[in-house]
A and B are shown apart, each in its own frame.
Chain A
Amino acid sequence: MAVEWALPPVSSEESPVTQEERTQLLQELMPKHNAGGLKPKERLAIPPQDMPQQDPAVRRRNVNEVALGYTEEQARIEAMRCLQCRNAPCVEGCPVRINIRDFVGAIANGEFDKALEIIKQNSLLPAVCGRVCPQEVQCQEKCTVGLSLKDVGKAVSIGRLERFVADRNRSQGVVPAVAPATGKKVAIIGSGPGGIVAAADTRRAGHDVTVFEAFHKPGGVMVYGIPEFRLPKAIVRDEIETLRKMGVKIVTNFIVGRTRTIEQLMKKDGFDAVYIGVGAGLPSFMNIEGESLIGVYSANEYLTRANLMKAYDFGKGADTPIAVSKRVAVVGGGNVAMDAARTAVRLGAEKVYLIYRRTEAEMPARVEEVHHAKEEGVEFHLLQNPKRILGDAAGNVTAIECLRYELGEPDASGRRRPVAIQGSEFQMEVDTVIIAIGNLSNPLIRQTTPGLEFNKYGNIVVDDHCRTSMPGVFAGGDIVLGAATVILAMGQGRIAAAAINEYLAGKQAGAGE
């Protein structure tokens, strides 16, 4: 995906457009808009609205959110850029088919509540998805505005608009209505994005729903993985709170497969249906020399220490330590690699190198994350890959040895395959290495659930309705898809919930005990 992202301004202060200018622009646009008379050409001429953000020099020193969110004026101006295409190609690009055209239209009209209502018909977590969805390869990639301007970076900023209406509504805390009790029990395993959606949708149908979480805090990857500066934890907390207000029970420190097996949940505890949304959760390592040295982390461990356990406050309250690093090498080119690199910056590292064996064009990370990482001083080392990690006598990392690569023929993924250049070894002095090359599927459910079908990668096999090989057991998200995104997990949570509701409608209440 070789796209150029229109670079946002380095900070809100340096933004060339002032608040007054924006207000004036909106006032100019309003009469024509209200008369329904903005022509496509006029819409295309409206300048794309930049996202206000924390200055990179400042945000290097804090964990607060980087992107600050649109003002009302910005949101309305940005929404007026939308051409309201009859065929709405953006909707095709959305994994959960949000009616994007209509919600953007509602924002342009200043009908923010209506906009949120439209989004919520398809997506339960707009404040999350507005922040972490890779819009530039989904809805915004298809946007006619971006195509007309020959720059996907100039597409209507659908994600930012989604975030705007979601944030505006956050304080209001609307709790979805719940149907009368059906007497049927649903177990949701994992409280990540898929689990939250599956819990909400099955609870809305009147079932007695319990969410089981292995960690001591619910939220899954949104809490332990995605950092505060990209997704404030307060947002996740609100979503969990909404579930509680709906009457969903949330049980933490509960490891399905260990505390109880799926069979026990169904046969002894009387759960009529189970949704498995445990994520991937088993970090891949490179199997190179030196990977067990002190200072080598999986990104999961590094991010969990920093996010969930708040290691950035070690010595100021938090008890979980993390390496005090001067020079950090992060291996990988995905969003998790960016999160780890940017976390290392915030934890005080002087140098953070991001090592990726292909070029920037092949990086799976969102362009915006790559851009933010660069702004914050992360050094990109492309077409390089570690060969081994070196340490001192005490077992501490001292350096990483890499090989240089060049791109060869395309591989099965369609990306050009990186080929090592023989004899190109060189070393970089580092004290910390973070491996962010993806996750394998966690074997716990597999080992403890005979009868559940898995593929050769250890992912659960499901049909189009997220039904597994076991009656009453459904699954979705990373444990089915391999590594995916929040929105895809959410989409599967929704599909599974619909299938669970249908399954339970045809089942006698109270079965199982």
Chain B
Amino acid sequence: MSHRIVRKRQIGEDVFWAEVEAPLIAAARRPGQFIILSIDSDYSERIPLTIAGADAGKGTIELIWQRVGKTTAELAALNEGDEIDNIAGPLGTPTHIDRFGVVVCVGGGIGNAPLLPIAMALKQMGNRVISILGARDKSRMILEDRFAEISDELIVCTDDGSHGRKALVTEPLKEVCSRDPTPDHAFVIGPTPMMKFCCEATRPFGVPTQVSLNTIMIDGTGMCGGCRVEVGGKAKFVCVDGPEFDGHQVNFDLMIKRLGAYKKLEQQAYEDYKQHKCRIGLHG
């Protein structure tokens, strides 16, 4: 069963959004879960992508991804009406949504996408939601308007100051944590270094901090173990034990190293892809 792209647009520098037909996943997914897709069945790699939203009635899910390598570039080159051969999911353990009180949701770059459904669910549960969104620059800030709708307070910052405050998200995060009362819970999703520093920021305040990890994965069901991370000194599988973990327990340095396992090969594949694309003169 292939999955038709119903709508698609670019929503930031190298960032794309698509609404894709996947009725079973749309019905089953809960905040915090993800899918694994491969564009065609024979040679394509399988990549995990978070689910940014879903419409069970229409049978569609929302995917947001950043063009960083061959597969994400191929995905970005697809058009409305095109089909993706394989989407498996929803995968991972859903986020534990509770009535915590005051929660701070911190999103970095593309991490805003998986954070959105979690923030929405937290709001629906009656939490006071403080959202902090960060990006490298204005062109990479995504979903700000949708966070504005559901947040009790929204703080936006960019590294270069081209939009909102000129700051890294850790700065407002520390400020929010210094308030009285301190937030009851934090949810942080973004690039791995950003999650690491956010966890360092919340640790002194004793604010429980949930992170969502995005590692290299193949099957997403616990079968390969490629996604393993060290949490509290123990090996955990992101696909079945996660993707969310207590950020204060995660060995981020090890995770960052493991994420680079195929860097050279990935770069080579992307360069070959871009070269080939130029030669055949498609997509400009």
Chain A contacts to B: CB under 8 angstroms: 214-217, 224, 251-255, 258-260, 281-283, 285, 287, 291-295, 297-298, 300-301, 304-305, 309-310, 313-315, 317-321, 323-324, 394-395, 442-444
Contact = CB atoms under 8 A, between A and B. Distances in A.
Contacts of B89: 253, 255, 258-259
A444 B226 CA distance: 17
B79 interface: no
Contact of A294 (B46, B86, B230, B261): B261
B161 interface: no
Chain A interface secondary structure, helix, strand, loop or mixed? loop
Given A309-B46, A319-B45, A443-B240, A298 B90 contact: no
A313 B43 contact: yes
Given A260-B28, A315-B272, A321-B262, A395 B223 contact: no
Contacts of A394: 257, 260
A471 B254 CA distance: 46
B258 interface: yes
A205 B43 CA distance: 37
Interface string B89-101: 1110000000000
Chain B interface secondary structure, helix, strand, loop or mixed? mixed
Contact of B43 (A260, A295, A317): A317
Chain B CB within 10 A, most for which of A292, A295, A314, A319: A319
Nearest to B221: A214
Shortest Cβ-Cβ A-B pairs, 8 listed: A395-B257, A301-B224, A253-B88, A319-B45, A321-B265, A216-B86, A298-B225, A320-B45
Contacts of B43: 310, 313, 317-319
A329 B261 CA distance: 18
A314 to B, nearest CB: 7
A318 B87 CA distance: 18
Contact of A283 (B25, B86, B223): B223
A234 to B, nearest CB: 14
B38 interface: yes
Contacts of A319: 43-45, 70-71, 269
A305 B218 contact: yes
Chain B CB within 10 A, most for which of A259, A291, A309, A442: A259
Interface residues of B, number: 47
A301 B258 CA distance: 14
A429 to B, nearest CB: 19
Contacts of B222: 281-282, 442-444
Contacts of A318: 43, 45
A300 B223 contact: yes
Interface in B193-250: 218-226, 228-230, 235, 237, 240
B180 interface: no
Chain A CB within 10 A, most for which of B41, B222, B240: B222
23 contacts: A214-B219, A216-B41, A217-B41, A253-B88, A255-B88, A255-B91, A258-B91, A282-B222, A282-B237, A292-B254, A298-B225, A300-B224, A300-B225, A304-B223, A310-B43, A314-B269, A315-B268, A317-B43, A318-B43, A319-B44, A321-B262, A395-B258, A444-B222
Contacts of B41: 216-217
A299 to B, nearest CB: 10
A304 B228 contact: no
Contacts of A216: 38, 41, 46, 85-86, 88
Contacts of A255: 88-89, 91, 220-221
A259 B219 CA distance: 14
A292 B228 contact: yes
B218 A301 contact: yes
Contact of B266 (A252, A321, A324): A321
A373 B32 CA distance: 44
A363 B268 CA distance: 40
A500 B255 CA distance: 46
A217 B85 CA distance: 11
A323 B264 CA distance: 11
B38 to A, nearest CB: 6
A259 B25 CA distance: 6
A258 B257 contact: no
B1 interface: yes
A144 to B, nearest CB: 42
A418 B201 CA distance: 48
Given A253-B87, A260-B28, A285 B70 contact: no
Given A319-B44, A319-B45, A304 B85 contact: no
Given A255-B91, A313-B43, A281 B223 contact: yes
